[in-house]
């Protein structure tokens, strides 16, 4: 054990060398590669694209991992979200020259292309998702505020529990179709909504239904659905009519829609004759969200056929609004709004896209398999936790009494698998349940329990159970609301966005600042800023006796995020968290949610030292000795002999990846 000393004090000791080394490479972003991180956060393996495969017999392809090594698959996806990308991997782009519109407002790519909109982002904010989703480190938490459609800013939301949110959105859409798509053609025909067709969705059995508006058109021919839905129109043959914006359009026979629970909302566009056209939000699925964010913030364009309609070639161009795309590897229906820039217009000999839409000389910067892994990870990101306390419990009752829960809907039920109704059931393979305990010193500690949601096949395959699941303590209805001036956004073009999505409050205790713009530094300020549709609730809040207001805030602050890797967790279902958890005959320290411990080939560690964790437990510092085996780097569909990041099976060889772009 050595103590670090200041380099300027003893300039030539080894300690100085270490300190100098630490100083030599500071860089935010998120996690760097390191085989010598004793905490196990550094990524101990090089970047290798994951090969997409629906066939799970292709060892090392995405379906294989999902089925046979799901906890490693989770880690691989997580690491893509944590990883700091480099120029070599195609991060950033030649933004000024990119021929494609970037995440624009008017809110879709077509809008920018046709209206000459100003791109919002320049593809070079950062080299890692983790630079913004940064609190708590290194989790997909909340974080940075950036300028977006206006200078007030857009605050980064966390995506704990994102998989459940995606499932709720898919299920809600399905329920609407089940009720109103009477002919079962997968769209809403004009005749099907000739009369008032209210959308009332019960979030959980017995709960008051959420009112998402009405499918029937308003006087301008626009379905009166809440802004969280993105609508597009079809002709009688089911073809998408990208320029149509109303059922009044004589070519239009039907419309279709996606629910977009990700993003704060994009407000409305004004159409001809005072028509208001809801612009949805940023994404319908975690897949779409990831691909869009990787492009606009990091300049990494994914080629993800799962999100493309299989067009006739002529229509495969950017801006071709395709509508309903494919069901992804992890079972989520994808949509194509024509704004994913890499569309595989030119395909190389091994199936890689040669499009290089940001013109930086790097093709296919993320593969469909990479996106499969990220989707799998985001599907399974743990839900936020609750740090129980008597005050918080009292505050929860106040929350209900003053009717905050009208919009901040407490719980949602994922219906069990039902092919007839089109319900997938809970698509996850596991859930991390958390409970908070008081420690003897008065502090509290979160403890996890891994709940498997799969059955094991004889060959070691993992099959999702597809059961029902109650997502409790979510506190959101995903609707877009106008809650007054305190939440309006004056955009660069002078327009005013009045509506924004109700944020789910889980995790809110760890995600200051508040509001879509992050302009409220405390929860109290954010609550007091409510007005408009939430005026009554705000008045009730302000009128509360001080102790009740304090309890309410204690409740909201008890809804927290946490560092999952180090969460003391009962992994093996024996009802306890072992101080000395044994994996493969080896004591790996206390039992915690380090998914690598559950990988098909678990890590072999070199013990360094037992040290104190901030939570008071004993944490084991150790180095992984078998990263190639754990991370499957030698599996047939993963081996990358020349180290260029493309596995040999999709690497067409030297020179073949040259796009001709500098």
Partner 1 sequence: MTRLRLSATVLLAMSIPAWAPGMVYAQLLERPDDPLGLAIREPRVRVIHSDQPDLPGSSMHLQRSDPWLAYKRGHSLFQREWRPADGVFALAATRPLSAAVNSCAMCHNQPFRSAGAGGNTSEPVGHGRNVPHLFGAGLIETIGIQVRQELLAHHDRNRNGFFDVPAETAGRRAIVRAAPGVTIDFGSLDDLDGDGVPDLNDVILVRFVDDTGTPRTRASDGRPARMGAPGIAGYDIAVGIFSSSIGDHQFPALRRFAAGAFRAVMGFLVNDPTSSEDRGRGRDRRAHDGWGAISNAYAPQFIMRETGRPPKTQSACDSPQPGITEGEMDLLEWYLANHPPPARFQRTRETERGRRVMVEIGCTSCHVADWEIKPADALLGYSGDRRFFDLRVDFNPNARRLEGKLVSLTDPVGGPEGLSLQVPRRQGAWVTGIYSDFRHHDLGERFYEYHYVDGRLWVIRRFRTPPLWGVGSTAPYGHDGRSSTLDEVIRRHSGAAAEATSAYLGLPSEGRRAVLAFLRSLVLYQPDTLAADIDGDDRIADTFRRGEQPLGPERFNPELLFRTAPLYQGWTESDDDDTFFSYALLNLDEAYGLGMEGLRDDDRDGTPDILRSGISDVGEKDVGERCVARFNGIN
Residues 101-130 touching partner 1, rule: CB under 8 A, are 118-119, 121-122, 124-128, 130
CB 473 within 8 A of CB 410: yes
**Which residue from 50, 165, 234, 560 is in contact with partner 1, where contact means CB under 8 A?**
560
Name the residue nearer to partner 1 (CB basis): 53 or 152: 152
Closest distance between partner 1 and the C-beta of residue 55, in Å? Answer: 35
609 binds partner 1 (CB under 8 A): yes
Name the residue nearer to partner 1 (CB basis): 9 or 317: 9
CB 89 within 8 A of CB 300: yes
Name the residue nearer to partner 1 (CB basis): 148 or 246: 148
Q: Restricting to residues 85-104, name those near partner 1 by CB under 8 A.
A: 86-88, 91-92, 94-97
Contact track, partner 1, 270-289, x by CB under 8 A: x-------------------
7 binds partner 1 (CB under 8 A): yes
CA–CA distance, 217 with 227 (Å, rounded to integer): 14
Name the residue nearer to partner 1 (CB basis): 149 or 256: 149
DSSP H helical ranges for 30-121 = 62-68, 70-82, 109-115
Contact track, partner 1, 392-431, x by CB under 8 A: ----------------------------------------
CB 567 within 8 A of CB 592: yes
Q: Are strands 569-570 and 444-452 parallel, antiparallel or unpaired?
A: parallel
CA–CA distance, 435 with 437 (Å, rounded to integer): 7
Q: Restricting to residues 353-372, name those near partner 1 by CB under 8 A.
A: 360-361
**Which residue from 519, 590, 593, 635 is in contact with partner 1, where contact means CB under 8 A?**
519
22 binds partner 1 (CB under 8 A): yes
CB 398 within 8 A of CB 548: yes
Closest distance between partner 1 and the C-beta of residue 416, in Å? Answer: 35
37 binds partner 1 (CB under 8 A): yes
Contacts of range 190-195, beta carbons closer than 8 Å, 24 or more positions apart: 190/247, 190/252, 190/253, 190/254, 192/254, 193/217, 193/223
What value does the CA radius of gyration of the chain take, rounded to a whole number of Å? 25
Instruction: For residue 184, give every residue at least 6 positions away whose Cβ sits within 8 Å of its Cβ, in sequence order, or none.
Output: none
CA–CA distance, 386 with 104 (Å, rounded to integer): 37
For residue 574, the Cα-to-chain-centroid distance in whole angstroms is 31
Closest listed residue to residue 413, CA positions, set 341, 486, 370, 473: 473
494 binds partner 1 (CB under 8 A): yes
Name the residue nearer to partner 1 (CB basis): 8 or 184: 8
- Stretch of residues binding partner 1 (CB under 8 A), selected from 84-92, 199-207, 532-540, 647-655: 84-92
CA–CA distance, 235 with 96 (Å, rounded to integer): 37
- Map tokens 């950062």 to a residue: 126
- Stretch of residues binding partner 1 (CB under 8 A), selected from 198-206, 374-382, 404-412, 607-615: 607-615
Closest distance between partner 1 and the C-beta of residue 4, in Å? Answer: 5
Task: Compute the CA torsion angle 395, 401, 404, 409 (nearest 10 deg).
Answer: 90
CA–CA distance, 276 with 279 (Å, rounded to integer): 9
CA–CA distance, 540 with 88 (Å, rounded to integer): 56
Q: Restricting to residues 139-198, name those near partner 1 by CB under 8 A.
A: 141, 143-147, 150-153, 155
Closest distance between partner 1 and the C-beta of residue 483, in Å? Answer: 16
Name the residue nearer to partner 1 (CB basis): 125 or 220: 125
DSSP-derived letter for residue 502 is P
607 binds partner 1 (CB under 8 A): no
**Which residue from 34, 406, 644, 656 is in contact with partner 1, where contact means CB under 8 A?**
34
Half-sphere exposure of residue 73, counting CA atoms within 13 Å on the CB side?
A: 31
- Stretch of residues binding partner 1 (CB under 8 A), selected from 34-42, 211-219, 337-345, 409-417: 34-42
**Which residue from 194, 327, 543, 611 is in contact with partner 1, where contact means CB under 8 A?**
611
330 binds partner 1 (CB under 8 A): no
CB 121 within 8 A of CB 95: no
Name the residue nearer to partner 1 (CB basis): 144 or 411: 144
Q: Which residues are 583's β-sheet partners?
A: 586
Size of the site for partner 1 (CB under 8 A): 109
Closest distance between partner 1 and the C-beta of residue 521, in Å? Answer: 5
Q: Restricting to residues 429-458, name those near partner 1 by CB under 8 A.
A: 441-443
Name the residue nearer to partner 1 (CB basis): 518 or 632: 518
Give the phi and the psi of residue 522 in degrees, each rounded to 5: -130, 160
Q: How many CB atoms lie within 10 A of CB 11?
A: 11
42 binds partner 1 (CB under 8 A): yes
């Amino acid at each position: 054990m050595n103590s670090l000393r200041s380099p300027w004090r003893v300039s030539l000791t080894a300690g100085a060398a270490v300190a100098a080394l630490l100083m030599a490479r500071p860089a935010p972003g998120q996690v760097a590669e390191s085989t010598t991180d004793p905490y196990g956060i550094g990524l101990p393996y090089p970047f290798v694209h994951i090969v997409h495969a629906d066939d799970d017999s292709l060892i090392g392809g995405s379906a294989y991992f999902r089925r046979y090594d799901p906890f490693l698959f989770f880690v691989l996806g997580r690491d893509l979200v944590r990883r700091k990308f480099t120029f070599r991997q195609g991060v950033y782009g030649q933004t000024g020259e990119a021929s494609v519109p970037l995440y624009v407002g008017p809110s879709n790519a077509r809008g920018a292309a046709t209206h000459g909109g100003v791109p919002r982002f320049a593809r070079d904010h950062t080299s890692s998702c983790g630079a913004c989703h940064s609190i708590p480190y290194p989790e997909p938490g909340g974080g940075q505020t950036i300028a977006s459609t206006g200078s007030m800013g857009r605050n980064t939301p966390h995506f704990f529990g994102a998989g459940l949110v995606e499932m709720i959105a898919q299920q809600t859409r399905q329920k609407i179709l089940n009720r109103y798509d009477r002919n079962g053609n997968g769209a809403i025909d004009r005749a099907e909504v000739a009369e008032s067709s209210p959308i009332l969705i019960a979030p959980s059995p017995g709960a008051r239904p959420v009112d998402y508006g009405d499918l029937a058109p308003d006087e301008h021919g626009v379905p009166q659905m809440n802004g969280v839905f993105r609508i597009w129109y079809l002709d009688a043959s089911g073809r998408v009519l990208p320029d149509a914006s109303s059922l009044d359009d004589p070519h239009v026979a039907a419309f279709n829609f996606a629910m977009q629970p990700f993003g704060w909302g994009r407000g409305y566009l004004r159409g001809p004759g005072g028509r208001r056209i809801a612009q949805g939000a940023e994404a319908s699925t975690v897949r779409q969200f990831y691909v869009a964010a990787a492009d606009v913030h990091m300049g990494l364009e994914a080629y993800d056929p799962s999100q493309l309609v299989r067009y006739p070639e002529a229509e495969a161009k950017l801006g071709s609004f395709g509508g309903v795309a494919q069901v992804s590897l992890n079972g989520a229906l994808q949509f194509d709004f024509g704004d994913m820039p890499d569309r595989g217009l030119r395909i190389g000999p091994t199936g890689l896209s040669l499009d290089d839409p940001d013109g930086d000389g790097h093709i296919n910067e993320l593969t469909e398999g990479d996106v499969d892994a990220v989707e799998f990870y985001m599907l399974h990101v743990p839900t936020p936790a609750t740090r129980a306390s008597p005050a918080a419990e009292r505050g929860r009752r106040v929350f209900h009494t003053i009717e905050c829960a009208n919009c901040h809907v407490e719980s949602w039920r994922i219906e069990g698998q039902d092919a007839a109704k089109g319900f997938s059931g809970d698509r996850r393979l596991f859930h991390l349940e958390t409970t908070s305990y008081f420690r003897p010193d008065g502090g509290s500690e979160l403890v996890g329990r891994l709940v498997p949601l799969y059955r094991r096949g004889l060959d070691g395959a993992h099959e999702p159970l597809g059961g029902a699941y109650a997502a409790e303590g979510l506190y959101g209805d995903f609707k877009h609301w106008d809650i007054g001036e305190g939440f309006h956004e004056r955009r660069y073009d002078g327009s005013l966005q009045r509506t924004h999505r109700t944020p789910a409050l889980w995790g809110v205790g760890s995600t200051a600042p508040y509001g879509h713009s992050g302009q409220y530094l405390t929860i109290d300020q954010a609550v007091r800023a409510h007005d408009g549709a939430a005026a009554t609730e705000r008045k009730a809040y302000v009128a509360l006796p001080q102790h009740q207001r304090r309890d309410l805030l204690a409740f909201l602050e008890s809804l927290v995020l946490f560092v999952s890797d180090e969460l003391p967790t009962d992994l093996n279902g024996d009802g306890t968290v072992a101080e000395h958890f044994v994996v493969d005959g080896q004591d790996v320290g206390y039992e915690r949610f380090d998914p690598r411990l559950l990988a098909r080939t678990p890590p072999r560690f070199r013990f360094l030292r037992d040290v104190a964790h901030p939570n008071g437990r004993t944490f084991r510092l150790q180095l992984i000795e078998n990263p190639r085996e754990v991370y499957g780097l030698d599996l047939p569909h993963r081996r990358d002999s020349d180290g260029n990041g493309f596995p040999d099976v999709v690497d067409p060889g030297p020179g073949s990846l040259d796009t001709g772009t500098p």
